[in-house]
Structure 1
């Protein structure tokens, strides 16, 4: 059995938030959009169908949980959820909070504007709020 290793690009582009039973939850380093990644902590996964049935159901529960928490914390108007993997093949799911006044609305977020750094302490505050909300709903 191979040990789980987070893809270096995913690690470099995001900050750790919490571990759920299956997935690591990470915040993308892009203040343009509050944006979570869920990365199942199993090796050699590319597609959701690479998970066994039980883990597929667990991932769906975790996507729902992350979506609920992100919506509650950000009070967003819409959530975008997707597992693309065109640039990083390691299975990961994007959960993105969207607002009618964000720079990409109503289109997808990819490539519209360069990633924006979080203001000092803002990422830490958001991560703390997300952790508290995850603890409240688990």
Structure 2
């Protein structure tokens, strides 16, 4: 049974599920920062996914990166799977701008995370709807039938 690593649970806001991956928003308002986590047990690396899941992961990651780039008018999309502190496979999709607080360096360790205010989170969730756009049907409902986006 899939469970989200406690550190990811603590640091993110759950947005919903694609067919394979859970879509999370990093609770750091300094960057539009999303994370995909394949809903598979005990997976640390992309190569540990079976071939069908690898293909699904690539499709979901590509869809997300393309839509983030378009909706946020990104200068660059950073996609990274590090897992040095959180071993569960999770892949960061970070919208970057030439004038963001960490540019051109990686975002890790530049400044403490600045959690979203309720107003900032509401605005971000509206943009998430634009990001999902025609892919909104990829986001599943939870067991109680409630939309998670």
Is 1:136 aligned with 2:134? yes
Q: Which moved more, 1:80-89 or 1:116-125?
A: 116-125
In the TM superposition, residue 73 of structure 1 has moved relative to its aligned partner by: 2.4
Out of 106, 112, 115, the position equivalent to 1:117 is 115
What does residue 7 of structure 1 align with? Answer: 5
Unaligned runs of 5+ in 1: none
RMSD: 1.3
3-state SS, counterpart of residue 121 of structure 1: helix
Q: Which moved more, 1:43-52 or 1:121-130?
A: 121-130
Q: Distance in 1 between matches of 2:9 and 2:122?
A: 16
What does residue 47 of structure 1 align with? Answer: 45
Q: Distance in 2 between matches of 1:71 and 1:29?
A: 19
In the TM superposition, structure 1's runs of 4+ consecutive aligned residues that sit over 2 Å from their partners are: none
What does residue 98 of structure 1 align with? Answer: 96
Q: How many aligned positions are there?
A: 136
Q: TM-score, normalised by structure 2?
A: 0.86
